[in-house]
Structures are given as structure tokens and as C-alpha cells.
Chains A and B, each alone.
Chain A
Amino acid sequence: MESLKVTVRFYASLRERLGVKKVNLQLEEGSSFTSAMEKLAETLGNKADVIFDKLKIKDSVMVSVNNNLVKPSDLTELKLKDGDVIDIMPLPSGG
């Protein structure tokens, strides 16, 4: 079966708590964002709760795909393409 590779990058407090800057995921062709997150949670193991609450992305986290912010409600059905870059970030705290 064809596969696709996506990169997941982490920022600020999430990166420090996870102890890793990025993770590469190998997924089946046509995979959704949700299935990528299931694979990510599996990869992160016991540190997955930094990002997830029962496999759902926490409200305290925001997501962009290829440098475009995506609303949580639009993430579920989002289909991924080979080479996509997903950024997982804490909510802003600048100023």
C-alpha cells in the first residue's frame, strides 16, 4: 500500500516537556489528521498527555498545517498529503 510521510513539530513549553523537536510519521495514503494524531500518541507513549486528553487534542494547544492555522473543528476530517508539516503549539503568551 502507498504511504505518506508527515512531520510533526513542537514549540515552546510543549517541545521542552516532550523533550523532542519533531517526529516523523509514516501513514497510509489518504490518512486523516485524526489517524495521524493516533499514531503520534502511540509514538509519544506516556508523554502523550502533554498534548492529548483521551486522544483528543487539548484546548490549550493550537495546530497549524503547512503554516496555516486550523480551527479544531476543521481538523477531524482533514486529509493529509505526503510532506505535510503539522505544528503543535501552546496557546500564545506573548506581550
Chain B
Amino acid sequence: MKVKVSPELDDLQSLIDQLKKSSREIGAIAVFVGTVRGTFRDEKVLRLEYEAHETLAPKVLEEITADVKKKYGIIDAVAEHRTGKVEVGEDVMYVLVASKHRKEAFQALTELVDRIKTETPIWKKEITEKGTHWVENPK
């Protein structure tokens, strides 16, 4: 299991290759790539800026990943999220789940991505043509 909160993501193909090598039981690897969308409602997005709680973000990410791994009985997982400035079209988040079969890989991946977005203390600021605003969680 690997988690990372950092200005840079690891190379995606290398992460896939490492997972493949980690167990002979792996028959499926589901991958989520979060990228920066170029529009917000009708506004053109120039870039995003991410701030993370330096200590809590990796800690929560690790707890969530371990929790999902146990819940779905998957073999391994990787969760990485960027911080700092991220340009439109760039990757911001990688989540990979390795399991024996595809069904539990898809289920675990969906839950893990949802929980990373709603539970990990990372915050997103959108810089658009019309101004700057923090994206608020709808709760």
C-alpha cells in the first residue's frame, strides 16, 4: 500500500508495474486519474491550487486506503494527490486498486476516490478568468 500527498505524482505506468509485481494473485488493476477541468460553470479555468494539511492529509489518506482495502479484500492499493499549483489538463490524483477480480476492484476504487475527496484535508482553489475562489464542500 502506498499513499502520497506532494507537489508531484509518481509515474503512473511505474505505479501499475509495481502493483503487478507485488503479488501473483492480481488479476485486475483499476485506475482513476483525476485531471484539471478547463471550465467551471461558464467560466474558463486558468489553474487550480491545492493546499493540504501537511501531517493530517497523508495520515487520513493512509487510514482511508487501509479501510477500503480491508472492506473489499483487495490485494493492494495506491493513492496519490498533488498539492500546489496544477495547470488545466494536468493530472492531480492517481488512485489504483489491485485485486483478484475486476468487480471488487471497481467497487473499492469508487469508494476510495469518493472518500479521498470528502475526508482527506485537502482544499482546492479555482483560479478562473473572472476571479479566484475556494471550492466549498456542499455539506
Asked if B100 lies at the interface with its beta carbon under 8 angstroms from chain A, I say no
Complex alpha-carbon distance, A93 and B34, angstroms: 13
- Known contacts A13-B136, A67-B55, A67-B59; A95 and B92 CB within 8 A of each other: yes
Complex alpha-carbon distance, A95 and B118, angstroms: 9
- Known contacts A69-B56, A95-B34; A60 and B136 CB within 8 A of each other: yes
Are A11 and B53 interface neighbours, CB within 8 A?
yes
Cβ–Cβ < 8 Å partners of A2 in chain B: none
CB contact between A93 and one of B59, B60, B92, B122 (< 8 Å): that residue: B122
- Contact flags (1/0) for A50-94 with B, using CB distance below 8 Å? 000000000110101001010000000000000000010111111
Cβ–Cβ < 8 Å partners of B81 in chain A: 94-95
Cβ-closest chain A residue relative to B137: A91
Interface of B is mostly: mixed
Cβ–Cβ < 8 Å partners of B120 in chain A: 92, 94
Q: How many of chain B's residues have a CB under 8 angstroms from any CB in A? A: 28
Within 8 A of A (CB), among B88-129: 92-93, 113, 116-125
Asked if A23 lies at the interface with its beta carbon under 8 angstroms from chain B, I say no
Cβ-closest chain A residue relative to B59: A67
Are A95 and B56 interface neighbours, CB within 8 A?
no
Cβ–Cβ < 8 Å partners of B51 in chain A: 11-12
CB contact between B118 and one of A60, A64, A89, A92 (< 8 Å): that residue: A92
Closest Cβ–Cβ distance, residue B37 to chain A (whole Å): 11
- From B53, B81, B125, B137, residue with most partner A Cβ within 10 Å: B53
Are B117 and A95 interface neighbours, CB within 8 A?
yes
Cβ-closest chain A residue relative to B136: A93
Are A93 and B123 interface neighbours, CB within 8 A?
yes
- Known contacts A60-B139, A67-B55, A69-B56; A95 and B113 CB within 8 A of each other: yes
Residues of A within 8 A of B (CB): 11-13, 16, 59-60, 62, 64, 67, 69, 87, 89-95
Query: Could you list 21 A-B pairs, sorted by A, with CB under 8 Å?
Result: A11-B51, A11-B53, A11-B121, A12-B51, A13-B136, A60-B139, A64-B56, A89-B123, A90-B137, A91-B118, A91-B139, A92-B119, A92-B121, A92-B137, A93-B123, A93-B124, A94-B117, A95-B34, A95-B92, A95-B93, A95-B124
